[in-house]
Amino acid sequence: MKRRYLLFIFMTLSIIFLSGCQSEQTETRRVQPLDGNLTVHGGSVGGVWSLFTEGISEAVRKEFSGTLISAVPGTVAGNPVLVDQKETDFAIAESLTARFAYEGKEPFDKKYEHIRAVAAIMPENVFQLVAPVDAPFDSIEDIVQEQLPLRYSAGEKNALGDIVSAASFNSYNMTYKDMKANGGQVHFLSGNKTFELIRDGRIDALGKLAPLPAGDIMEASTAIDLKFISLGDQAIDKLIETFGVTRYTIPENSYDFQKEPYETINSPTILITHAEQDEETVYHMTQAIYNQLDYLNDVHKGFQKINDETIIEVGGVPIHPGAEKFFKEKGLLQ
């Protein structure tokens, strides 16, 4: 009787143990490499988007050892087009720029309807307008009212920094053409190149969208005394109304030169792909980003803002079914 009882206990425990092993096996993540030689287009070599694409690519390699995936230089306005035309597998894009491409709004000349969102990888991508501390203006309104001959850098032409810059000045009834008529200039340069010219006294201000803190602004502030230039509620409200962006407050002391909060707008940076991209591949790309956040947090502070709420905030671009499947399994989407 005792032997039967012990045998029963042993068999019961064995079943529980094996069931646990089977459950653990079903929850084990895929370990084999993803299929194909994947590409992820980012930004210019040495720029912050280059860092993002390298980070995303390495996160995939860490999650799926042996995966062939390359980070490739790209452009803000060009990446959505490359994705739509299947000239890359994945790309980084500003959510608003990707939406403009998807809907066929300026600066795009047609609808790129095959663009799909994978995940928000930089929830904070905020507009920042900076100038030397001795600049004779503290706001866009000052520039407009005094008709100052502003020499302005708007970043890459047709990128979101350019679009937001133009719209901000337009909210006070000033166009780039008006700026030039006042004796000013409009340049479309990278942040690093712009700060070189600011140091030489050849450019007065830079407007750009970037995660916090922006590396080029931080670096420039060690050699140039900088200040933020106020957009004003008039511009912020117009940007929200026109583009559906959100108001954002950059906390004080986000930069050494910044002593007060700075009011601006935010438009997240997202990862995009083609609508016909393999569903399983997109699922596992999303999984890699989600599971490798500890690694990504060390790549750039902007990744630290990703959480269960922000990762699905991709703007007006439809989410790819592969990413949607992953988010639903995690309970992030209904």
User: What DSSP string runs through 174-222?
Assistant: --HHHHHHTT-EEE---HHHHHHHHHTTS--EEEEEEPSSPHHHHHHHT
pLDDT confidence of residue 322:
97
Confidence band for 159, pLDDT divided at 50, 70 and 90: confident
Query: What is the chain's length?
Result: 334
Give the separation between CA 244 and CA 320, rounded to whole angstroms. Answer: 21
- Of all residues in the chain, what percent carry a pLDDT higher than 90? 77
Tens of pLDDT, residue by residue over 21-31, are 443 333 335 55
d(CA 288, CA 274): 18
Give residue 6's pLDDT.
43
Which stretches within 28-159 are classed as H helix? 48-63, 79-84, 95-103, 140-145
> Per-residue confidence at 1, pLDDT binned at 50, 70, 90?
very low
315: pLDDT strictly greater than 90: no
Q: How confident is the model over 208-239, as pLDDT tens digits?
A: 998 888 889 999 999 999 999 999 999 999 99
Q: Band the pLDDT of 253: cuts 50, 70, 90.
A: very high
pTM comes to 0.80
Higher pLDDT, 143 or 211: 143
**Residue range 136-145: mean pLDDT, rounded:** 97
Name the DSSP letter for residue 312: G
Q: Are 64 and 284 in contact (CB under 8 A)?
A: yes
Backbone dihedral angles phi then psi of residue 226, each to the nearest 5 degrees: -110, 165
Give how far the C-alpha of residue 278 lies from the chain's centroid of Cα atoms, to the nearest Å.
Answer: 23
CA 82 → CA 22, 42, 331, distances in Å? 43, 11, 31
